[in-house]
Structure 1
Amino acid sequence: MYIAEITERLLEVNRLLLKYIKDTELTFEENLVFSGFYHDYKDINSIINSAEKELNDSPAILMEQAKALAAAASDFLATYESHEDIFGSYNPQPVCDRHIKPLEKEYDSIAYAASQLWKRYSQMSVRMDYLNPEDDDYKAIEKESEEVKARYEAEKAKSDETYRFYTAEREKTAKLYFFEMIYLEMLVVRMKRIADSIIKDIEELKSEGKI
């Protein structure tokens, strides 16, 4: 069902193309649909391999899927060609910056707070090294240092969690930041050719009585 999956996602791409034409702006997640489609399916050989397997298992289903993909690809190309000036000026960088910079700032703030707590805890530990454990000052600092350490560990855990999320979002952003619509157009052209070729091959096999 690989080709059916591609078609379903291409239909979502087509829907967002029309929205972009109307609004000239999309959310970060909506823009990811474009770059995600390209990066997930740019290995065009995977479509060919899937088609070869499906041809042996169920040529009728493959024919239906190929026609659906060809239709979705035709819709994409018609939309792209009639609004090529709009798509030629497509620039996802501003929306990427608006998405990632606040996350970066949040992580930096939390990481800084954690580092300051660790610094304070370390200073207390050094000070305690020069005090008698039986002294009241030592006991007071020891109690405070334990509190600071607990706060540090909580802040460090928060920092680590924020960093993991920030890193994941940064990876998404990296795929979108320099993305251009022409990459998508070239990919869909190739998909259309493959879908048309599948349809033609199945029709020939049918006419020859081989399926």
Structure 2
Amino acid sequence: MNMSCTLSNISQRLHEVNMLLSTCEQGAFSFAQALLLSLFYRDFCDTNTVVEEAESLAEKDAEQLLKFSSALFSESETYLSLDKTSLQVVNFEALFEEYLKPFELRYEEAKAASTELWRKYSALNNRLDFLPLDSEEYMKLSVECDAKNAEYDTAHAQTDHLYNEWQQERSRYFCVYCFKPMFLDVLVERLHGIAESILSDINQMKEDKP
């Protein structure tokens, strides 16, 4: 991560959160909206990173730090002033499960189809065991059995792919399932305090200059 990457992004990301909260309607919260909030918390919950970047930037470019901190202070002030009662009724766990449901259903459908192909292949293979190896019926059934096995292999590979896709989506967006609005409140309160302290320190440094 480049230095000041967090500082340069956090204000814009918080602005997006504020815009969402100021325009969203109660009872009409989508997964995408829930994701925006939970990703903000996930990406910036380690406030030590913000402090470390601020300390480093203070030595290199105090004016840039002033710009970033002023923006963060302003956006955090806005967030803290917003009415967020509509968030209290949002079921983030349900939104997460609803988002994942199509991935799960695609996997289950593919799994069922793959299982049925395996059943048919096994039945053909079992019939082969009772036929003379040099019989015409054996030869014909063997070709059919090989084709069914190849069909199963393709279906099985697709089933594995869909399962991995489902699990990847689950891991990628599990932050939505875990998210609670109070987490964001606590984080923004902390960020507001950090920005306020940085601005105070910068102003003090300016006053101390001869």
1:123 aligned residue? 123
Structure 1 letter corresponding to 2:34: N
The alpha carbon displacement at 1:148 in A equals 1.2
Contact 1:7/1:72 (<8 A) preserved: yes
Which of the numbers 5, 11, 20 marks the counterpart of 1:7? 11
Contact 1:28/1:96 (<8 A) preserved: yes
Q: Does 1:66 align with 2:63?
A: no
1:48 aligned residue? 51
Q: Does 1:16 align with 2:16?
A: no
Structure 2 stretches of 5 or more lacking a match? none
Aligned-residue Cα RMSD (Å) equals 2.0
The whole-number CA distance in structure 1 between the counterparts of 2:76 and 2:55 is 20
Structure 2 letter corresponding to 1:32: L
In the TM superposition, structure 1's runs of 4+ consecutive aligned residues that sit over 4 Å from their partners are none
Structure 1 stretches of 5 or more lacking a match? none
Contact 1:91/1:180 (<8 A) preserved: no
The whole-number CA distance in structure 2 between the counterparts of 1:51 and 1:118 is 60
The whole-number CA distance in structure 1 between the counterparts of 2:23 and 2:158 is 38
1:202 aligned residue? 202
The alpha carbon displacement at 1:134 in A equals 1.9
The whole-number CA distance in structure 2 between the counterparts of 1:90 and 1:99 is 14
Contact 1:51/1:62 (<8 A) preserved: yes
The alpha carbon displacement at 1:23 in A equals 4.9
The normalised TM-score by structure 1 is: 0.88
The whole-number CA distance in structure 2 between the counterparts of 1:104 and 1:8 is 34
Structure 1 letter corresponding to 2:91: N
Instruction: Decide which moves more: 94-103 or 30-39.
Output: 94-103
Q: Identical aligned pairs, as a percentage?
A: 28
The whole-number CA distance in structure 2 between the counterparts of 1:132 and 1:18 is 77
The whole-number CA distance in structure 2 between the counterparts of 1:84 and 1:14 is 10
Contact 2:26/2:86 (<8 A) preserved: no
The alpha carbon displacement at 1:113 in A equals 1.1
2:88 aligned residue? 88
Deviations 1:140-188 (A, max 9, x none): 2211122212221221222122112211222245321242211101100
The whole-number CA distance in structure 2 between the counterparts of 1:125 and 1:89 is 56
Structure 1 letter corresponding to 2:209: G
The whole-number CA distance in structure 1 between the counterparts of 2:29 and 2:165 is 22
